[in-house]
Structure 1
C-alpha cells in the first residue's frame, strides 16, 4: 500500500540528516521521493550500473554484494545506500538486491544534488571528506567540549567559605561550582573570596551560598570558542560553567583558553628539541593526547593529524640519538635509525608502541657492536619513558637481529623474497614500511630500490604477500551489519585498527610492491598506485574515501575517550554511532572488502 505524503514526511523526520531540515524544506522535499517495492530476490542495481538516485530503506532488508557476488552487508530500515556511487559519476561499486519484502524510498539524482548544494548539514553527512588544508588550534571555531575541563569540582551550598577556600587551594583551581540536587546553583571564585569575604570581613563560617554568583551564565558543550570569548568580554567574567540537559558537565576558564592556544605540534617539537633528558621529553609527550583532541576538533584531516603526531615521535627519536651520542661518544661507523609500523608510515594516533631498527655501515666490526647496543638501549628506553612502549613482538633495534650491517639487511630482504614462508611474509610486511629517522640516510636508498625491484619481479612473492594481506578483513556481518568481537575484554566492539585501517594499509603495501613505488605512507601509496596504473582511478577514489571514513572514525573515537579521561584505544562499540554513521561505516568496509576480493581473484590491477 503506497505511503501517504504525511506518512512519508513523518518517517523522514526520524531519519538523519533529514531531521535537521526546516519543516518547509522537508515538506518540499518529501514528494520528490519515489517509492519502490521489491520482493525477496529482486535486484535493485548491479555492479557498474549507473544509479538513478539515493536509496533509503523504509522497511525490509537489502543485501549488498561485492563484485565476486559475495554478500558483505545487510541493510535495514533507515539505512541509506547508493550515495557513494552518486558522488563518483553515479556508478555503483557494489550490487544490491532485496532479501525480504522491502519498500525503498529513492531520491532522484538531480534532487539529491540540489539538496547537497542547498543544505550544508546534508552535504556534511553524505560527504564525510574534509578539506586538505591543515588547520591550527582555531579557538574561535572549536567546540567547547574539546577544551573545557570535564568533571568540575563542586560543593554544597552550605559549605563554609573557609572550606571552599581550602578545597580550591588543595585542588589548585580558581573556582567552585555550587550544586543542589545535581543542579547548578551558583559559582564561587577566588575573586568572590577576596572581594566579598576578606574585603567585607565576613566570618569564615559564612555559607558559600551567601557569596556565590547565583544562576551564573552557562554555555552548552556544543558552543564554540568565540561564544566563550564574547561572553567573557561582555560580562567581564573568567569562568563559565558548561551545562547540558540541566547537568553540569564541565567548566571553561581563561586558563583553559590560554592552554588551548598554546599547545601545537610545533610548540611541542620545539620543547623536545631543547630537552636534556628522556624524562624532560616525557613531560612534553604527555600533552600529545590533548593535541590530538584539539586537532580533531579543529576539523583537520586524519592524515594531517597523524602526520603531526608522528613528527613529534620523530623529533623525540632524533633528540634521543643526539643525547646517546653525547653520552657514548661519536659512532665508530655511520649508522641509520629507521622506524617501521605506524611511525614508519607517518600514521601514529593516540595509541603507539615502538617499531624500529638500525642499519650499520658494512665497515662495522664486532668490536663496534657494543656501542650500537648501548645506543639502541638508550633510545629504546627513552622512547618507552616518553610513552612509546616497547614492541610486544620485539621489533626493535635492541634485538640483535634488527641491529646489523647493511650486507646482512640485504641478505634478509633477498631471503624473504626468495622464500616467502609465513615468517618471511610477516617480517616483510613490517620491514617494507621502513622510513629513515636519524643518521646516514644514504644507507637506505640503494637497499630500498634494490628490494622493490626484486620484490615486484617475483610474482610468487607478491602473490604470497597479497594472500597474507587478505587475512585482515573488514568486520562485516550479514545479520547484524557488523561482525563485532565476540568475547573477552572488548566484546561487542569493532577493532578499528586490525579490522579497520590495517586492511587498507595492507592493500596499499601490495600496490606499492606491484608498482615498485617508494612511498611508505598509505594514502601516498594509493595515490601513487593510481598514477602508475596499478589501481584504476575509480578504485583509488573508492579506497581513499573508505580509508578516510574509517581512519577519521577511529580518531574521533580516541578523541572522545581522551575527553572523558579514558585511555584511548581502537575498540569502538557500534552502539556509540548513530544508525547513519553505522551505515556510512558499513559502506566503507564494503569498498575495502570489494578491493580485497578483486586482489584475491587476481584483479588487483583493475581495482
Structure 2
C-alpha cells in the first residue's frame, strides 16, 4: 500500500538540494522516515551549546532564524525560508550547536534522520560537497566594525578544504615576548634561542605594543641605522594588528592581506588593549590551507596595464558566481567584491599618477560614492566618484584643479575600460563640480544641508555615502566632522531626506501583487533596485545620520548598528538588515543570469518560492517607512 504522506514529502524534497541528487527510490524511503515538526512563532528547535540531534532540518513552510547568543542579546545570522536546509552540525562535526534555531513565524519543518540519510548518500560526492559548503556558509561570524574591511577566501573545490577555511586558526600559543625596556640585542638572542622569526614587545600588563621581525633587524640594525644595544621600542613596528582567539583560518589570512603583514597578534578579547595569548603567522595559514587564495588581489596590485587590470577584475565575477552557488553569506560576498573594487580603483590611480608629467602638487583623497562608497557594489555598474585636494592659495587654485582633473580623466578612463561605465549624470571626479579643494567641499556640503531642495537631496543620496579609497584620509575625516557639525544645526534637512526616503511605497499593491513599471521598455518589469533596495538604503542613511554616527556606511551594518542603539526597535532593524542582504543577493543572481545590472526582473520567470522570498523582504520596508514618517513628522511635509 502506498504511503501518500511519504510521496508528498518526497515530491517536496526533490525540488531542493541536496535531495534532488538522491535516487527517487532512496528519497521515497527517506521521506517515509521523516518527522514533521509544527512550530509556533518563537518555538526553539535547538539552542546554542545543545548536544547535536539525530536529525538535520529543512523548512517546509514559514521561516526559521539562526541566532547567535552573545550572552546579552540574540543576533539574527540568517533566516531560512521554504526549501532551506539548516542544523547540519551533526552531519559535519560532532560538536554542540553554535547557533540557536527559532521559528520566525508559524512554520512546518521536516526533520531528516541523519543515519538513514548517510546510508543512502555516502557514495555521492556531489551531496557531500553540497553539505560541506552549506554548513560552512552557516558558520557563525559576527558582524562587527573590525570586520567591515575583510574579504572572504577564494572557493576551493576540494571538500576537505572547504571546511578548513571555517575552522579556528591554529596559532602559536605562549608566544615569545620581551619587555618595552629590553634592548634589541637581548631580544635578538631570544629569537635565536627559540629559532623564531619575530618577537612581540609587551607592556607590564602583557598587552602587545609592538613586533620585531627578522626584516626589522636586517633593515634597521645591519644597515647601521640603530646600534645593537638600542631599545626595542626604537625599531619595533607599532601598533600591532590583533585578532580574536576563535578567529577562522580565512579571517586570519584576510587580516594579513588587508594590512600587508605576516604576523597577527592574538589577544584575549581580540583588541590591542587585552593580554597577548598567541601569534598567527602567514606560515601557519599556508600550512593549514596548502595554498594562497589571494590571486585576484595580487594580480590587481601587480597590473601595469589596463588590460591586465580588466582581466583581474573580471575574474571577480567568476568568484562572485561561485560564492553564490556555494551559498556563502552575502555579507562576506559584499566584503570580497568591495575589497577587489577598491583595489582596482587604487591601482587605476597609481597608474594614472605615473602618466602625469609631475607628482601631485598637494595631497588629495579619492572618494568612492554611492554603492561603492557603501561597499555594496557587486556587479559592474556606473562610476560615482569625487576628489578632494588640499587647500591652496587662490592664485594657485585653477592650476591645481586642472592637474587633478587631468589625473581624474586618466582614472575614470581606466575604470571604464575595466568595466565600470561612465556616470550618465557625470558625477565623477573628472567633472570640475566634483573635483574641489577641501574648503570648497565644506562650502558645498554646508549649502546642501542648510539650503535643501530637490537637487540637493538627489546629490546627497550619492555624496553622503562616501568612502576614502586612496590618499590623504585626514582630509575626508575633517570633511566628515564638518558635515556632522552642520547637520546638528538644522532639522529641515532630515525632513527633506525623510520625504525622499518614503517617496517609493511598499513594493506590493493592495491585493499583494508586485508593483511593476507601467511605461516604456521597462513595462511589466519589477525594478528591485528602486522599489525595494533603495528605500532600505535611504532609510538607513537618514537614521544613521540623525544619530550622528560616523564611519558606518554599509546599509546592513547601519541597520545592525541601529538595532544596538535602539533596543525598542531591534527586531525591525534586524529585519531590515536581513531584507537588504536577501534582496542584494537576489538582484546579483539575476544580474549574473541575464548579464546585466539585475535591477529589472521579469516576474513570470520566477518560481513561486522565489516570489514568496521576495514578498517576505517587503514587510520591513513598509514598517521602516512608517517609523520615518512619525520620527521626522513627514505627514504634512511637502
Q: Which bracket does the TM-score occupy, shorter chain normalised? A: 0.5 to 0.7
How many residues align? The count is 422
Using the alignment, how far apart are the partners of 1:448 and 1:492 within structure 2?
42
Match of 1:570 among 583, 599, 618: 599
1:438 CA displacement:
0.9
Please give the per-residue CA displacement for 1:113-151, whole angstroms capped at 9, x wherever unaligned.
Answer: 874686999x99xx9985455453131359xxxxxxxxx
Using the alignment, how far apart are the partners of 1:409 and 1:386 within structure 2?
29
1:361 CA displacement:
0.9
Are 2:154 and 2:294, in contact at CA under 8 Å, matched by a contact in 1? no
Q: Secondary structure at the match of 1:357?
A: strand
C-alpha spacing 1:262/1:357, structure 2 compared with 1 (3 Å): farther
Match of 2:348 among 289, 295, 320: 320
- Give the alignment of 1:45-194 within 5 angstroms: 51=41, 80-81=61-62, 115=110, 130-131=138-139, 134-140=152-158
Q: Secondary structure at the match of 2:367?
A: strand
Larger CA deviation: 436-445 vs 518-527: 518-527
Match of 1:300 among 328, 345, 348: 328
1:377 CA displacement:
0.8
2:616 matched residue in structure 1: 587
Unaligned runs of 5+ in 2: 21-26, 45-58, 75-102, 118-126, 142-151, 161-288, 634-638
Unaligned runs of 5+ in 1: 35-49, 55-77, 90-107, 143-260
Match of 1:378 among 397, 407, 410: 410
Are 1:512 and 1:529, in contact at CA under 8 Å, matched by a contact in 2? yes
2:498 matched residue in structure 1: 466
Using the alignment, how far apart are the partners of 1:570 and 1:464 within structure 2?
26
1:486 CA displacement:
3.5
C-alpha spacing 1:506/1:541, structure 2 compared with 1 (3 Å): same
1:433 CA displacement:
0.4
Query: Which one has more relative contact order, counting CA pairs under 8 Å at least 6 apart?
Result: 1
- Give the alignment of 1:243-282 within 5 angstroms: 266-282=294-310
C-alpha spacing 1:80/1:596, structure 2 compared with 1 (3 Å): farther
Please give the per-residue CA displacement for 1:405-463, whole angstroms capped at 9, x wherever unaligned.
Answer: 11111111111111221111111111110110111111010211221243255222112
Question: Root-mean-square deviation (CA), in Å?
Answer: 4.3
Are 1:495 and 1:570, in contact at CA under 8 Å, matched by a contact in 2? yes
Please give the per-residue CA displacement for 1:29-84, whole angstroms capped at 9, x wherever unaligned.
Answer: 798769xxxxxxxxxxxxxxx84889xxxxxxxxxxxxxxxxxxxxxxx9955767
Are 2:62 and 2:106, in contact at CA under 8 Å, matched by a contact in 1? no
2:482 matched residue in structure 1: 450
Q: Secondary structure at the match of 1:537?
A: helix
Are 1:396 and 1:402, in contact at CA under 8 Å, matched by a contact in 2? yes
Are 1:529 and 1:535, in contact at CA under 8 Å, matched by a contact in 2? no
Q: Secondary structure at the match of 1:281?
A: helix
Instruction: Output the TM-score relative to the length of structure 1.
Output: 0.60
Match of 1:289 among 303, 312, 317: 317
1:510 CA displacement:
1.1
Larger CA deviation: 512-521 vs 131-140: 131-140
Are 2:153 and 2:294, in contact at CA under 8 Å, matched by a contact in 1? no
1:181 matched residue in structure 2: none
Are 2:63 and 2:105, in contact at CA under 8 Å, matched by a contact in 1? no
Are 1:380 and 1:390, in contact at CA under 8 Å, matched by a contact in 2? yes
Using the alignment, how far apart are the partners of 1:52 and 1:455 within structure 2?
40
1:535 CA displacement:
7.0
Residue 406 (structure 1) aligned with residue 438 (structure 2):
yes
Using the alignment, how far apart are the partners of 2:444 and 2:363 within structure 1?
20
Residue 423 (structure 1) aligned with residue 455 (structure 2):
yes
Q: Secondary structure at the match of 1:351?
A: coil
- The structure with more radius of gyration: 1
Match of 2:338 among 310, 315, 328: 310
Residue 367 (structure 1) aligned with residue 399 (structure 2):
yes
Using the alignment, how far apart are the partners of 2:490 and 2:157 within structure 1?
53
1:553 CA displacement:
1.4
Q: Secondary structure at the match of 2:383?
A: coil
1:354 CA displacement:
0.7
Please give the per-residue CA displacement for 1:84-125, whole angstroms capped at 9, x wherever unaligned.
Answer: 799999xxxxxxxxxxxxxxxxxx99995874686999x99x
Larger CA deviation: 362-371 vs 413-422: 362-371
Using the alignment, how far apart are the partners of 1:130 and 1:457 within structure 2?
44
Using the alignment, how far apart are the partners of 2:303 and 2:387 within structure 1?
23
Using the alignment, how far apart are the partners of 2:64 and 2:549 within structure 1?
32
Using the alignment, how far apart are the partners of 2:331 and 2:8 within structure 1?
37
Using the alignment, how far apart are the partners of 1:548 and 1:265 within structure 2?
25
Using the alignment, how far apart are the partners of 1:401 and 1:351 within structure 2?
24
C-alpha spacing 1:138/1:486, structure 2 compared with 1 (3 Å): farther
- Give the alignment of 1:491-510 within 5 angstroms: 491-510=523-542
1:355 matched residue in structure 2: 384
Using the alignment, how far apart are the partners of 1:84 and 1:502 within structure 2?
24
2:470 matched residue in structure 1: 438
Q: Secondary structure at the match of 1:489?
A: helix
C-alpha spacing 1:29/1:592, structure 2 compared with 1 (3 Å): farther
Please give the per-residue CA displacement for 1:204-224, whole angstroms capped at 9, x wherever unaligned.
Answer: xxxxxxxxxxxxxxxxxxxxx
C-alpha spacing 1:445/1:265, structure 2 compared with 1 (3 Å): farther
1:376 CA displacement:
1.0
Match of 1:516 among 541, 544, 548: 548
C-alpha spacing 1:130/1:595, structure 2 compared with 1 (3 Å): farther
Q: Secondary structure at the match of 1:139?
A: coil
Larger CA deviation: 546-555 vs 387-396: 546-555
Q: Secondary structure at the match of 1:438?
A: strand
1:509 CA displacement:
0.5
Are 1:494 and 1:573, in contact at CA under 8 Å, matched by a contact in 2? yes
1:548 CA displacement:
2.2
Using the alignment, how far apart are the partners of 1:32 and 1:335 within structure 2?
60
